[in-house]
Amino acid sequence: MDLSQQEKDLIRQSYAKVAAIKDQAGQLFYQRLFELEPSLREMFHRAPIETQAMKLMQVIEWVVERLDDVKSLRDELDKLGKIHADYGVKVDHYPIVGSALVWTLKKGLGSDFSPEAEEAWIELYTYLSGQMER
C-alpha cells in the first residue's frame, strides 16, 4: 500500500476528530456492525461493548501513529490475523467491519469527512484486512 502524503494527512486529521468523540464512535461502530450482521454479536461476548470500543479506538490509533511505516505493522498484522481466525472470523467478515468503520467516521464527523478522506480510509482498511486475511 502506498498512501500519498495527502491521504495520510486526511487520515490523521479525521482520526484526531474522531478521537475527540472516542466513546461515542466506539458505540456507534458496534451498533452499526450488529445491525449489518447480527450474528457477529456472539463473537464479542468476552468483554462488555465499552471495553471492545476502547480496544477498537486503540488499534486505530496504533495504526494511525505508524502511517509513515506501514510495513512495520506487517508482523503484528500477521499475528492479529491468526488470533482473529481463532476467534472464528472469516474472510467475509472483513468488508462488513470495514463498512461499519467508514459509516462510523461519516456519522461521527459529518461534513468534516470528505470523499477524499473516505477513499484514504478505505485504502488503509483494505491494506490492513488484506494482511490479516492471509
Interface residues with ligand HEM (CB under 6 A) are 40, 43-44, 46-47, 52, 55, 59, 80, 83-84, 87, 89, 93-94, 97, 125, 128-129, 132
Q: Which of 99, 87, 103 is nearest to 28 (CA)?
A: 103
Residue type, 34: F
Terminus-to-terminus CA distance in the chain, angstroms?
A: 15
CB of 59 to ligand HEM, least distance (A): 4
Closer residue to ligand HEM, CB minimum distance, 89 or 102:
89
Closer residue to ligand HEM, CB minimum distance, 80 or 102:
80
CB of 28 to ligand HEM, least distance (A): 16
Closer residue to ligand HEM, CB minimum distance, 55 or 74:
55
Q: Say how far apart CA 65 and CA 120 lie, in whole Å.
A: 15
Handedness of CA 23, 24, 27, 33 (dihedral sign): negative
Residue carrying C-alpha cell 469527512: 113
Closer residue to ligand HEM, CB minimum distance, 10 or 63:
63
CB of 47 to ligand HEM, least distance (A): 5
CB of 104 to ligand HEM, least distance (A): 13
| Degrees, nearest 5: CA angle 87-93-98 | 115
Q: Say how far apart CA 56 and CA 62 lie, in whole Å.
A: 10
- In the bound state, the residue with its beta carbon closest to ligand HEM is 46
